Every structure is written in C-alpha cells, then in structure tokens.
Chain A
C-alpha cells in the first residue's frame, strides 16, 4: 500500500458527461501529480499541484481541470467526455515539489470507461 488513495476505482460514464476523480496523498506529502495511461498515448503527465498551487502543466486538455484543496487532497475534473478519454488515471504524491530528490508514490488509479 503506497498510502495514496484514489476514488473511485472504476467509473463508467457516457459521452458528454462530466466526472470528478479524487486523490488523497500520503500524509505529509505536499505535491500531487496526475497522470493518464491510455493505449493510444501511453503514460502522460497531466498536471502538478504543490501545497494548493498549480506548479506545472503537461498534456492536459482544456476540458480537464484540477485543484488541490487546503487539506491537500486533489480532484481531477473531466468534462465533455469523449470515447478517447477512456483511460487509467493515476495520482502520485511526493513530499517535495521541485527537484526529483523525493520519491513519488502512486495510487492504484481510477479506471475511466466512456461509453
């Protein structure tokens, strides 16, 4: 158990809908990273938050957004869903937010299926 909790584990929804994925980082970790794993695109970095502030953006679509709350949990919001958004969405957390000196711990992911 990595200590990173993602809910829900599985999600099935229809095209055009909006969903929210939740991530609770390990206790004491200030950074949260979101990754998407799909058959087409592989594993891609989406976005990072550090202590409530957006730190970096990767290949995140405009239809997607995220935030990190004062208790450090994070939510990834996916809207106007398309079939191609079906993927495994991972959250990872680490103590630091800059240099890669601190290990990142991954959650078990949320499997999103868009039908």
Chain B
C-alpha cells in the first residue's frame, strides 16, 4: 500500500523568507503523480503544484517549487518569498497514474508566516 509521510507537523517562516516542507512516500509503482495541496482556514483544498514521476525536471509554479528525488522517494516543497497568505495547512499527496485523483494524503504540515 502507498503511504505518504510528512514528518513536520508545524513549521514557521519569516515573511519574505524561504521555507521547505518535507514529504516522503512509499510505493512499489514506477508511474505516479505527486501533489502539494494547501488548506487555508477557509478549509478548501487548493492545488499548489503537481509532479509527474516520469518527468525528471522539478515542477515550479511561481514562488513554489519542488525537489523530487525519485530514488529516495522524497518530494519536498519550497516556498520562496513567503507571504502572509501562504499560512495554511499543506498536504503532500500521491496518486497512481491509472487511478486518477484517488489521493493518498500525508498528515499535513501547518505553516505559520511571521510578519
């Protein structure tokens, strides 16, 4: 079974600084997707970034980028120039290529942004 582990229950970052959230996963599959979702206090799940396992290039979306290490089964999220609006719960998620949006989620990391 696939498992996703987020070992940092809480993180904090100074506004305008950079922070990295960690995620590791376990799977025997070779073709899959990895995601970072953001859940602000409004509780809506918002897709931050997505990585396809067969792509070696790390995904980036504006201030958000990932460090995908397939052999190590590691998928960290880097937030640059942190903003107050980045404060939220961040979830790492895995899905197998053939099972669409059936996600396995990690337990989440609560990010606080300090003004």
Contacts and interface: CB of A to CB of B under 8 A. Distances in A.
A92 B105 contact: no
Nearest to B37: A106
A43 B102 CA distance: 11
Contacts of A43: 91, 103, 105, 108
B98 A98 contact: yes
B64 interface: no
B43 A108 contact: yes
Interface residues of A, number: 28
Contacts of A86: none
Nearest to A93: B101
Nearest to A58: B102
A100 B45 contact: no
Given A94-B101, A100-B33, A104-B101, 6 more contacts: A31-B100, A48-B102, A56-B102, A58-B102, A94-B100, A100-B95
20 contacts: A2-B44, A33-B101, A33-B102, A42-B105, A42-B106, A44-B105, A45-B102, A48-B102, A56-B102, A58-B102, A90-B45, A98-B99, A100-B101, A102-B100, A103-B50, A104-B47, A104-B101, A106-B45, A108-B44, A109-B43
Interface of A: 2, 31, 33, 35, 42-45, 48, 55-56, 58, 88, 90, 92, 94, 96-100, 102-104, 106-109
